[in-house]
Each structure stands twice: as structure tokens, then as C-alpha cells.
Amino acid sequence: MDASRDTISDLLLDWYDRNARVLPWRAAPGTPAPEPYRVWLSEVMLQQTTVAAVKDYFARFTARWPQVTDLAAAADEEVMAAWAGLGYYARARNLLACARAVAARGGAFPDTEDELRALPGLGAYTAAAVAAIAFGRRAVVVDANVERVVSRLFALEEPLPGSRPAIRALADTITPDKRAGDFAQAMMDLGATVCTARAPRCLLCPLAGPCKARAQGEPERLPVKAAKKAKPTRQGRAFWIERDDHVWLVRRPDKGMLGGMRALPDDGWIARSDGSGEGPVAGPWESAGRVGHVFTHFALELSLQVHVGRLAGDPPGEGEWWPLDRIDEAGLPTLFAKAARLALAGAGAGAGAGAGAEAA
DNA sequence: AAAGCGTGGAA
DNA sequence: TTTCCAAGCTT
């Protein structure tokens, strides 16, 4: 083959045929596509989330709910608990809504980008990715990897996110009519393993020839990104109410932080910053220590207040007594899983209740 | 359309 | 330790 005639997609697809990562939700290059359900599920899990973090969740979901209709029939609480720890919990609510929408139309995903885009939780990226990977449609798939690769390939100096329209237009020009799914995955593999954010491995790159950033000598400088805001720290309190080897858990509202997830009662650290709120039942409360946790937009220092064995009835409001020996199955998001660990460690530590301890 | 929304791994 | 950041979506 005359190398001078190789297009960027040819170079990349040849590289992909030899270097594709082996992933549980992926078919080997050139083999039939996986079921749309598996492609969609993996794409949603992978939104802003690393491959390493997704693998176990993908295995558990597909073992427990082998078809989209199985997932559609599951109870909300079961799915939310299964998602616990993966983050961005709106994805889990949208996942269920999408599964039920697909089940309602007979259990088959639509096979066009526009129809996919209309489903809950599928934005421009995911709709294009599913259309290309599951259905072989030509679609322009742009995620953070593609943004980085294209920014370097064409040496775009305009900072993100302003450069997105230009990136999309350029990605369109290099997307092939055939093997669009492989092309999309090849771009993402390249971004994940070669054209990395820091210290790109240009010596291994199949696109080093045409890459303008490479020619200019500082590929790691691109893409330029807008400066990030400083992250404030908030204070808050969470309340561990224990009685007869059970702890009182609540369900958080669907909207907002950790929406729809089981949780410990707290003082509303989302809205307020003084962390001095009252507990849901009358005192006395004892301190079990502090839990530090970093969210996307702020860091939280949570003081854990405990109230053990002195309560006659139920605390006010909705909630449930959850058995301590099954606390791992409650599906607590990481912040509250840390708090539970602290409370249980404090109980086992005897006098002092672990006051002042810091959970990792 | 800018901001809100999790988590854990790497450097 | 701190910073960055990963297959984005919604409002």
C-alpha cells in the first residue's frame, strides 16, 4: 500500500487492529458488535469514569440483569444500591428511565443517533457512540479523548470548551463511512494509552506523521483548558442513630447531591455551611470523629454524631432501620460508607468512641 | 449556558 | 500533599 495515500482513519484503524484493548463490553476488531444493551450500559457507566472503576460494576449489572427488560423490571432501590460507589447518581436514575423506555417499545433500542439522543441519559456523545459501536452507523463520536487527540492533531490553540465546535467539525472530517464504531473506539484507545493528557507516547503513535502538535514539539501543551475554580470546604454533621443492632437510614431526594441514594440523616450540609445543625432526635449526641470527602465542586468535612440505644420509637420522617451486619448491602454512597465505617470502628474500639479519628 | 453533579487513580 | 482528570448529561 502506498503510505502517502493512507488517510488518518486508515492509519488509526490499522493500529487498532493490532492494539485494541480487550474490554468486557467490546467485540474484537472486525467481529460482530455486542448487544446494544451492553454497549449502552458500558457507555453510561463510562461517562466521566475510568475503565478500571467500571469493570466490576459492568460485570455485576450484566450478571444480575442480563437483558434490558430485566433491568427495566428491577426495583429502583435495587438499581441505586447496585450503582452505589460509582458516582454521578443521576446516571443510575436515567439508566432505569431509559431501560423502561426501551422495554416499553418492545425491548429493542432504536438504531439511529437521533432516536438514541432522545432517551434519558444519552447526550451527544453517548448517542453517537451507541449508534456507531452497536449499530455500525457513521456518527461523529467526541469525548475527552477525541478532544485531546484532535486538538493535538490539528494544533488547536483555542482553549476548551470554546474549541468544541471546531473539534467536532474536524472530527467529522476524519471519521470514515465504514467501521465508524471501530474508529471511535480506536480514537478513545489512542487517547487513553498513547495520546495521554500527560507525557504522550508519540514514538508509539500511528498519527505521529500527520500530527501538527508533534511537529511543533510540545504536544503535551494541548489542548489548552480554561482555569478551574478553587474548591471551597464545607462543614456538616451526619447522625448515626443505632438501636438493637440496626441503624436509621433515610433516602435522599431525587434531585441534588447523591440524589435517590440511601444515606445517614444529616444537617443539610448541601445548603448551609456552618455545620451546626440539630440532629433529628433529641440529644445527647456523642462525637464519633470526622470524615473528609471531596466532591466535584467542594470538599466536605463531616462530623459524625452518634446516638446509641436510647431511642424508644422511630425518628421523625421517612426512614428504615437497617441491620448493622448487612450495612455493606445498603448501597451507601462513599461519603456515608466512610461514616458508617467510622461509627462501627468506634463502637468496636470501646471507650472514647474514636473521638477525633479521621476516616481515610 | 454556566453550574451542578462522585469517585478513585496517577503523577 | 495536591492537582489533575476519566467513554458527559441535565437544567
Protein footprint on strand B: which nucleotides are under 7 Å from a CB?
4-9, 11
Q: Is residue A73 part of a domain?
A: yes
Our count of domains for chain A comes to 2
pLDDT at residue number A272: 52
Domain identity same for A171 and A290: no
pLDDT at residue number A312: 86
The mean per-residue pLDDT over the stretch A34-61 comes to 97
pLDDT at residue number A274: 55
Q: Is residue A226 part of a domain?
A: no
Q: What does the pLDDT look like over A260-297, one tens digit per residue?
A: 999 999 998 864 545 567 788 987 899 999 999 999 99
Which cell numbers hold the place of A203? 514514538
Residue A50 CB in 7 A reach of strand C: yes
Domain identity same for A60 and A127: yes
The mean per-residue pLDDT over the stretch A4-20 comes to 90
Q: Where among A197, A221, A245 does a domain terminate?
A: A221
**pLDDT for A360 beyond 70:** no
Which pLDDT band holds residue A342 (cuts at 50, 70, 90)? very high
Domain identity same for A180 and A280: no
Domain at A39, CATH number = 1.10.340.30
Domain identity same for A18 and A127: yes
Q: Strand C: which of residues 104-143 in chain A lie with Cβ below 7 A?
A: 120-127, 129, 143
Residue A182 CB in 7 A reach of strand C: no
What percentage of chain A reaches a pLDDT higher than 90? 86
Domain identity same for A188 and A285: no
Cα-Cα-Cα-Cα dihedral of A47, A49, A50, A55, to 10°? -80
Find the largest Cα–Cα distance for chain A: 83
Average pLDDT in chain A = 92
Instruction: DSSP for A218-251, please give it.
Output: -GGG-S-BPPPPPPPEEEEEEEEEEETTEEEEEE
Q: What does the pLDDT look like over A291-320, one tens digit per residue?
A: 999 999 999 999 999 999 888 899 999 999
Residue A181: closest CA among A130, A145, A126, A144: A130
Q: Is residue A227 part of a domain?
A: no
* Residue type (1 letter), A119: L
Q: Strand B: which of residues 14-53 in chain A lie with Cβ below 7 A?
A: 48-50, 52-53
Q: Is residue A258 part of a domain?
A: yes
Which pLDDT band holds residue A353 (cuts at 50, 70, 90)? very low
Domain identity same for A107 and A17: yes
Domain identity same for A210 and A113: yes
Domain at A237, CATH number = 3.90.79.10
In angstroms, the CA of A53 and the C1' of C2 are apart by: 22
Q: Where among A164, A195, A221 does a domain terminate?
A: A221
**pLDDT for A107 beyond 50:** yes
Is the dihedral angle over the CA atoms A206, A208, A212, A214 positive or is it negative? positive
Rounded CA-CA distance A72/A178 in Å is: 33
**pLDDT for A355 beyond 50:** no
Q: Where among A221, A250, A280 does a domain terminate?
A: A221
Q: What does the pLDDT look like over A170-227, one tens digit per residue?
A: 999 999 999 999 999 999 999 999 999 999 999 999 999 999 999 999 999 999 998 8
In angstroms, the CA of A49 and the C1' of C6 are apart by: 5
The mean per-residue pLDDT over the stretch A83-89 comes to 98
Peptide bond into A159 cis (omega under 30): no
Domain identity same for A123 and A10: yes
Kind and range of the H or E element at A304? strand A299-308
Domain identity same for A202 and A245: no
Residue A304: closest CA among A358, A262, A248, A260: A358
Range of the domain at A147: 3-221
**pLDDT for A251 beyond 50:** yes
Domain identity same for A26 and A51: yes
Q: Secondary structure of A182-206 in the HEC alphabet?
A: HHHHHHHHHHHHCCCCCCCCHHHCC
**pLDDT for A1 beyond 50:** no
**pLDDT for A102 beyond 80:** yes
For residues A39 and A209, the answer to whether their CB atoms sit within 8 Å is no
Q: Greater confidence, A322 or A353?
A: A322
Domain identity same for A213 and A353: no
pLDDT at residue number A347: 63
Domain identity same for A169 and A240: no
Q: Is residue A228 part of a domain?
A: no
The mean per-residue pLDDT over the stretch A64-71 comes to 98
